[in-house]
Structure 1
Amino acid sequence: MSGGIDYGNLMHRAMRGLIHDVLAGVQASGLPGEHHFFITFDTQHPDVELADWLSDRYPGEMTVVMQHWYDDLEVNDDGFAVTLNFGDAPERLYIPYDAIKTFVDPSVEFGLRFETHDEDDDEDPTPPDDKPKRPRAVEPRQQDAEVVRLDSFRK
């Protein structure tokens, strides 16, 4: 073991596993209490599946809300699929865990932000192409991504 312990990659996998476990619980039992999620993801990730009009409208990243109306949540080891309502038009999305940038449950002030090397200091000697995304806990109020609230599309 010449390179040492890769804590960044281990943390990355653990936090993606946490998201998987939370969503699997929601798939089995629904959202408990006041829990709801803001999930920001990279719309250009090669494994993301969403309608063309959504990827055109959100060419870099998009935030979806799982709260009052979502349907057909399917969770697997690599990501999850869910149907959400956009202006009375249900759309099916598939979001791989590796595409997630933030996962926030504001009902309990819990949040995760996954960062890439581009956002970190350049002091680390690992080349940028070899760096995994590294998660860190964040306060939900610090989220700077655009939030797409389903209520705003209702008439």
Structure 2
Amino acid sequence: MSRSIDYGNLMHDAMRSLIRKVLTDVSENGLPGAHHFFITFDTMHPDVEIADWLSDRFPEDMTVVMQHWFEDLEVTEDGFAVTLNFGDAPERLYIPFDAIRTFVDPSVEFGLRFETQDDSDADEDAEIEELGERPAAETKDDDTDDDAPHKDAEVVSLDSFRK
């Protein structure tokens, strides 16, 4: 019986652990500086909890932006829950870490992409990518008034951030 090391799954676990640590820090201390996240996830994952109208509108995947306005970020071992604003309608979402397809912080040109066997060669289970150029995205200035009106959450395509 031959045994092998499953580097792909080990890498995915390490990448999900990194996301968990980052989100836990944000839930405890807020977003530092210009950091913000684009998180794309599989809306069909069995443990994803989103409003029916969102899953109808985004039947395969959805990208949420955590930047200016989000509330009640709760991080667990398996995923995170957050309230985002969609056109003045707050919606609670639960996203398991294993439903995440990409996690990008354009403020520091950092991104993680979880490859599936359908998306890549069998040898390439996980990829850490360096973003080539900084996307045009709003950033919050450190001297901005925290009582200023918050913007609605946006759903964006990550294709514009890829090389």
TM range (shorter): 0.7 to 0.9
Alignment CA distance shift 1:51-1:135 (3 Å): same
State the 1:71 CA deviation: 0.1
Q: What is the identity, as a one-letter code, of the residue corresponding to 2:50?
A: L
Alignment CA distance shift 1:24-1:113 (3 Å): same
SS at structure 2 position matched to 1:46: coil
Q: Which runs of at least 4 in structure 1 moved beyond 3 Å after TM superposition?
A: 139-142, 149-153
1:28-57 CA-to-partner distances (Å, cap 9, x unmatched) read 100000000000000000000000000000
Alignment CA distance shift 1:92-1:141 (3 Å): farther
Alignment length (residue pairs): 138
SS at structure 1 position matched to 2:95: strand
In structure 1, how many angstroms separate the alpha carbons of the residues matched to 2:96 and 2:69? 21
8 Å Cα contact 2:85-2:152 kept in structure 1: yes
- Which residue pairs with 2:20 in the alignment? 20
- Which residue pairs with 2:100 in the alignment? 100
- Which residue pairs with 1:80 in the alignment? 80
- Which residue pairs with 1:31 in the alignment? 31
State the 1:65 CA deviation: 0.2
- Which residue pairs with 2:128 in the alignment? 137
- Which residue pairs with 1:5 in the alignment? 5
SS at structure 1 position matched to 2:50: coil
- Which residue pairs with 2:49 in the alignment? 49
8 Å Cα contact 2:88-2:152 kept in structure 1: no
In structure 1, how many angstroms separate the alpha carbons of the residues matched to 2:154 and 2:40? 17
In structure 2, how many angstroms separate the alpha carbons of the residues matched to 1:42 and 1:52? 14
Alignment CA distance shift 1:151-1:84 (3 Å): closer
State the 1:151 CA deviation: 6.1
State the 1:141 CA deviation: 6.0
In structure 2, how many angstroms separate the alpha carbons of the residues matched to 1:14 and 1:23? 14
Return 5+ residue gaps in structure 2 as ranges.
Answer: 134-150, 156-163
Q: What is the identity, as a one-letter code, of the residue corresponding to 1:73?
A: L
- Which residue pairs with 1:119 in the alignment? 119
Between Structure 1 and Structure 2, which shows a larger proportion of helix residues? 1
8 Å Cα contact 1:111-1:137 kept in structure 2: yes
Q: What is the identity, as a one-letter code, of the residue corresponding to 2:14?
A: A
State the 1:140 CA deviation: 4.0
1:71-117 CA-to-partner distances (Å, cap 9, x unmatched) read 00000000000000000000000000000000000000000000100
Return 5+ residue gaps in structure 1 as ranges.
Answer: 125-132, 143-148
Q: CA RMSD in A?
A: 2.2
State the 1:15 CA deviation: 0.3
State percent identity of aligned pairs: 70
- Return the TM-score normalized by structure 2: 0.78
Matched, 1:71 2:71: yes
State the 1:119 CA deviation: 1.4
